[in-house]
Structure 1
Amino acid sequence: MKRRVETYALGTFDDGKSSFAGVVAGERVVRIEPGRLGPGIETTRDILDAWATVHTELASLADEASAAAVPLSELRVLPPVEPRHIFQAGANYRTHVAEMIVTGKAEDDTRTDDELLAAATAMMDERARTGSAFFFAGMPSAMCGADDDVVLVPESSRTDWEAELVIVIGAVADKVDRKDALSFVAGYTVANDVSARDLQFPAEHRPLGGDWMRAKNRPTFLPVGPFIVPADVLPDYRDLEIEFRLNGDLMQHDRAANMLFDIPTLISQASHITPLLPGDLILTGSPAGNGGKWQRWLQPGDVMEASTTGIGTLRNIVRAPSPSTPSAQQHTPPRKDDQR
């Protein structure tokens, strides 16, 4: 798809001969030659490792985009960084939690939808005040680029989407205080957390909390990108809007301000689990409106577009499993409240 960056951003690209880090400005990419930003600095992760000292040079590189640059349209856009850790926050939008509670209403529950929503709001307020974010781990091997195909797995017939704003860490963060957390953010990008729901909560694993690895960490199930936009060229993150379109139809839309646990809290709580390293990603959760809400599951040929204002759009086409893959197995369908 045609892309344009109004300010500048950092990314990883392939010109058909090799992959390289580059700065995007407008519709052109300036290749960051090895050593340009310092000895041993070549990849985007190298740049993030040295973020405090080199990130101001990226704007200068962007100024070269009108001359020593390659048209973005001539390059393949790869995932912008190779993280060492991927944290994913589940059920972190108020609309999503409310949706799960209402659609998962038990048959013998006599409360109205309004009463359920009121109870959900009270529960979320208390959880945000006294509780903790729900994290699960992602695998870098699941990542693919902004225009790459997402390949379904034959053992699932209920695979869906989740558009997410992503934090990119720019300094080692070890047990950081919430008030200091934003200083550890290099920038932001976009992800689509593709999930095989009928693999996530099979009956055999439901007592153990579900099978998050098998459901979410398949190859191509985590498109990330297209670029990392530095935090200092974006507006307040709370004003960013996240949306998802399926074949052009709007399925998800919300503002980052509506997270249950905000970005400083997510960073602080994650950094108390393990030190966060430069280039690590924190997926911040997804708004209401994934496949469980619509009872619409991904099919070969579907076009998924996950976007965040000021950052860009992932456009991934859904493909069928390889014919050589073993035939599908039967799994217990997910409950309506199991869409995380």
Structure 2
Amino acid sequence: MAVRGVRPDLEKGGEVGYMGLALVRFAGSGQPEIGVLDQGQVVPTGLSDASWVECVERWGAGDAELPAEGAPIPVERASLLPPITDSARVFCVAQNYPAHAAEAGGASPPRPAIFLKPPSAFVGHLSTVDLPAISSFFDYEGELAVVVGKSGRSIRPEAAGSYIAGYTIGNDGSARDLQPSVLADRFQVDWFAAKAFDRGSALGPGVVRRSDVREPGRLRIRTTHNGELVQDDVTSSMHHSIEDLLAFVSGVVGLLPGDVILTGTPAGVGKARGVAVADGDSVTVFVDGLGELRTSYAAAPGVNDIRGIDE
């Protein structure tokens, strides 16, 4: 598999394009390690998760001079982990693409609607997403993800770019049948029940530096479900821009290096198509300049067979 490439069946009006160096986490000798992904090879740095936040800060500042320890590993053998650690907050944006809001029956919200996902919700590139037994309709959501590179509170939109370390790709797993809820006799969305499943989402392959991503507000994002193109849009379609999202979130809580903002998904989700993700399925999200995030799906393990995020 060529991480920088694109399968021929997706070459319709453009390609994924050049992918710069990506900061990654991978399963090393028993513990998560930090590496640099370049042309389908992971170069180990010899650094552990304890250095992740520092590396993200350096990445955002343009310092890519990380140590090289050991021989490069082909990406398909590197066991990539999601590019977040347990200290990260993952802020997700609901219905930020007008076409997706329309397929859900409404308009994009006038201000960003944000919910949180725990780091344990994510697996890495080429990993398996667990289909939760409690849900009868599980769904994918391909998204552009923003990785924060330095601390900031009440960030002005025009200054937001300097707080970004880089970008990666997200697949926000969603239990559609668990989203509706009732509180005080009024309809509510239960974000926790629908979105927080262990190993129910994916993130990766790694963090591409912001300086290597040309015009992040104009990237093409596409998703395939079992090889069928189901989502195809550009990030310029977002109702709330990347800069406005950073400004809004940081006005509520201070952002920290390593935090992630999932910027919303385009139209074409399984719920709108009437097609849920099933055991044995595969979903791939392509974003220009960032490569691809590919996952397979399988029934979640039993209660007494819980797998950790770093396994």
Specify the TM-score bucket, using the shorter chain as the normaliser: 0.7 to 0.9
Structure 1 residues 187 and 52: CA distance shift in structure 2, 3 A = closer
Pair 1:152 & 2:131 matched: yes
Q: Which residue of 2 aligns with 1:117?
A: none
Q: Which residue of 2 aligns with 1:88?
A: 92
Q: Which residue of 2 aligns with 1:9?
A: 22
CA contact (8 A) 1:21 1:42 kept: no
2:158 is aligned with what amino acid?
A: K
In the TM superposition, residue 69 of structure 1 has moved relative to its aligned partner by 2.9
In the TM superposition, residue 226 of structure 1 has moved relative to its aligned partner by 0.7
Q: Which residue of 2 aligns with 1:287?
A: 266
Equivalent in 61, 68, 72 of residue 69 of structure 1 = 72
Equivalent in 99, 102, 122 of residue 143 of structure 1 = 122
2:292 is aligned with what amino acid?
A: T
Structure 1 residues 269 and 303: CA distance shift in structure 2, 3 A = same
User: Which secondary structure state, in structure 1, belongs to the residue aligned with residue 21 of structure 2?
Assistant: strand
Pair 1:265 & 2:265 matched: no
Structure 1 residues 97 and 42: CA distance shift in structure 2, 3 A = same
Q: Which residue of 1 aligns with 2:46?
A: 33
Pair 1:44 & 2:52 matched: yes
CA contact (8 A) 2:25 2:33 kept: yes
Equivalent in 101, 104, 115 of residue 100 of structure 1 = 104
1:252 is aligned with what amino acid?
A: Q
Structure 1 residues 323 and 167: CA distance shift in structure 2, 3 A = closer
In the TM superposition, residue 147 of structure 1 has moved relative to its aligned partner by 1.6
Question: CA separation in 2, counterparts of 1:303 and 1:191?
Answer: 14
Deviations 1:59-97 (A, max 9, x none): x459x79x9533333311111121521110000002112
Structure 1 residues 259 and 302: CA distance shift in structure 2, 3 A = same
Unmatched runs of 5 consecutive residues or more in structure 2: 5-17, 305-311
Alignment of 1:318-333 (within 5 A): 318-322=297-301
User: Which secondary structure state, in structure 2, belongs to the residue aligned with residue 190 of structure 1?
Assistant: strand
CA contact (8 A) 1:15 1:74 kept: no
Alignment of 1:1-340 (within 5 A): 1-4=1-4, 6-34=19-47, 43-51=51-59, 55-56=62-63, 58=64, 60-61=65-66, 69-82=72-85, 83-101=87-105, 131-203=110-182, 207=186, 209-322=188-301
Question: CA separation in 2, counterparts of 1:52 and 1:292?
Answer: 36
Structure 1 residues 147 and 259: CA distance shift in structure 2, 3 A = same
CA contact (8 A) 2:135 2:178 kept: yes
1:3 is aligned with what amino acid?
A: V
Structure 1 residues 27 and 255: CA distance shift in structure 2, 3 A = same
- Quick check: 156-165 or 259-268, which moved more? 156-165
User: Which secondary structure state, in structure 2, belongs to the residue aligned with residue 264 of structure 1?
Assistant: helix
Structure 1 residues 47 and 205: CA distance shift in structure 2, 3 A = farther
Larger radius of gyration: 1
Deviations 1:192-231 (A, max 9, x none): 1111111111456882622111111101112100110001
Query: How high is the TM-score relative to the length of structure 1?
Result: 0.78
CA contact (8 A) 2:223 2:232 kept: yes
Q: Which residue of 2 aligns with 1:113?
A: none
2:230 is aligned with what amino acid?
A: M
Question: CA separation in 2, counterparts of 1:307 and 1:52?
Answer: 22
CA contact (8 A) 2:40 2:74 kept: yes
Unmatched runs of 5 consecutive residues or more in structure 1: 35-39, 105-119, 326-340
Q: Where is the strand percentage greater, Structure 1 or Structure 2?
A: 2
Q: Which residue of 1 aligns with 2:308?
A: none
Question: CA separation in 1, counterparts of 2:49 and 2:29?
Answer: 22
Question: CA separation in 2, counterparts of 1:192 and 1:206?
Answer: 32
- Quick check: 143-152 or 282-291, which moved more? 143-152
User: Which secondary structure state, in structure 2, belongs to the residue aligned with residue 301 of structure 1?
Assistant: coil
In the TM superposition, residue 190 of structure 1 has moved relative to its aligned partner by 0.7
Count of residue pairs the alignment pairs up: 290
In the TM superposition, residue 156 of structure 1 has moved relative to its aligned partner by 1.2
In the TM superposition, residue 261 of structure 1 has moved relative to its aligned partner by 0.2
Question: CA separation in 2, counterparts of 1:2 and 1:257?
Answer: 27
Question: CA separation in 2, counterparts of 1:170 and 1:206?
Answer: 42
Structure 1 residues 206 and 253: CA distance shift in structure 2, 3 A = farther
Query: How high is the TM-score relative to the length of structure 2?
Result: 0.85
Question: CA separation in 2, counterparts of 1:209 and 1:227?
Answer: 34
Q: Where is the helix percentage greater, Structure 1 or Structure 2?
A: 1
CA contact (8 A) 1:48 1:186 kept: yes
In the TM superposition, residue 45 of structure 1 has moved relative to its aligned partner by 2.1
